[in-house]
Amino acid sequence: MSTEAPPAGRAGSVDRAAIARRLEAIGRLDDEAIPIAETALMLSMLDHPSADLAACRDLLDELALAAETEARARGLKTGVDAADSDDAAGDRARLIADTLYGRFGFGGDEQTYDEDDNASLARVLIRRRGMPVALGILAMHLGEVLGWPVTGVNFPAHFLVRVDGAHDRVLVDPFHGGRIMETPDLRALLKQVSGETAELEAGHYRAVDRRAVLLRLQNNLKIRASGRGELERARDILARMLLIAPTDWALWYELGLMRARLGEQLGAVQALEVFAANTTAEEPRRRALTLVERLRAEIN
């Protein structure tokens, strides 16, 4: 199977089958080897196959070049030299914010937050507007290019990005201009979403892997599709999530249930059997096998 990216042709030239093959290849990579922005872009092209893929890639390259140039101007070390630097996390975070939100004008879409475009990187690049996780992926892309540890953080109900320096780290809000979140800001946000008794814990600062970030982006689309009653679209989004996370057994279970709801008995059985053969959760496994028996009876 080829691991080549789809051709960077102009609008209308993207091959959906080639994109799927590329995503399957990414699904076999170790997490740290996943190109975060390129993968998000490939996922978005499945919804927008006529989008100008080359223009999107060109903009990602422009962002990277601008950040690298500005880092040199500010005396911040990048690439292989970054590991030996004494650069502070705040200086790195401010450079990323100045590039994304200042020079290139990206920002959170507060007017039409629930639109699918805000979770589609191809559309985010065109509109310069998006939801927190999509904008966070752009920040992670710059970290990837610069050789800086920039990771997603699953803060309750609000996606944040963690930027590590040589001896410290900061959390930033990608939806609100990449502003650095101080402890009082984090505490206030946590209480807003989790209740007045909630308190900050070490887990709130813990980085999540790249697959988890990409799945979170797709999950937003899946939830919205389900809420609109678009079950076929929700099924297709689950299937694409499994391209990049083929061993996420819970996704196989969810796909099986969705296919069963759509009356796709054979596809449901196949997905549920994959889940049952691999899960270590006994009760969900029992439920899956019970449903498989019922679906097989319907097929016969």
> Are 286 and 154 within one domain?
no
> Are 252 and 184 within one domain?
no
Task: Mark 241-271 as b/e (b = at least 16 C-beta within 10 Å).
Answer: bbbbbeebbebbbbbbbbbbeeebbebbbeb
Instruction: State how far the alpha carbon of 5 is from the alpha carbons of 67, 83, 213, 277, in Å.
Output: 24, 30, 21, 32
The pLDDT value given to residue 156: 84
C-alpha 242/C-alpha 239 separation (Å) is: 5
Asked if residue 220 belongs to a domain, the reply is: no
Count structural domains, the chain: 2
Asked if residue 95 belongs to a domain, the reply is: yes
> Are 48 and 190 within one domain?
yes
Asked if residue 227 belongs to a domain, the reply is: no
Q: Which domain holds residue 41?
A: 31-208
Sheet hosting strand 179-181, strand order edge to edge: 179-181, 169-173, 160-164, 150-153, 207-208
DSSP letter, residue 230: -
> Are 262 and 153 within one domain?
no
Domain boundary among 148, 180, 208: 208
Predicted model pTM: 0.92
Asked if residue 72 belongs to a domain, the reply is: yes
The pLDDT value given to residue 1: 33
Asked if residue 151 belongs to a domain, the reply is: yes
Asked if residue 14 belongs to a domain, the reply is: no
Domain boundary among 158, 180, 208: 208
In the chain the first and final C-alpha atoms are separated, in Å, by 35
The tens place of each residue's pLDDT in the chain, 300 residues long, gives 333 444 444 445 578 899 999 999 999 999 999 999 999 999 999 999 999 999 999 999 999 999 999 999 999 999 999 988 999 999 999 999 999 999 999 999 999 999 999 999 999 999 999 999 999 999 999 999 999 999 999 788 789 999 999 999 999 999 999 999 999 999 999 998 889 989 998 888 889 999 999 999 999 999 999 999 999 999 999 999 999 999 999 999 999 999 999 999 999 999 999 999 999 999 999 999 999 999 999 987
C-alpha 88/C-alpha 76 separation (Å) is: 9
C-alpha 232/C-alpha 66 separation (Å) is: 41
Give Cα 78 to chain centroid, integer Å.
Answer: 24
Asked if residue 145 belongs to a domain, the reply is: yes
The pLDDT value given to residue 13: 58
> Are 135 and 277 within one domain?
no
**271 with 252: CB under 8 angstroms?**
yes
Q: Is the dihedral of CA 46, 48, 54, 58 positive or negative?
A: negative
Domain boundary among 180, 208, 236: 208
> Are 84 and 144 within one domain?
yes
The pLDDT value given to residue 121: 98
> Are 201 and 253 within one domain?
no
The pLDDT value given to residue 73: 98
Asked if residue 60 belongs to a domain, the reply is: yes
Single-letter residue type at 161: V
The pLDDT value given to residue 241: 98
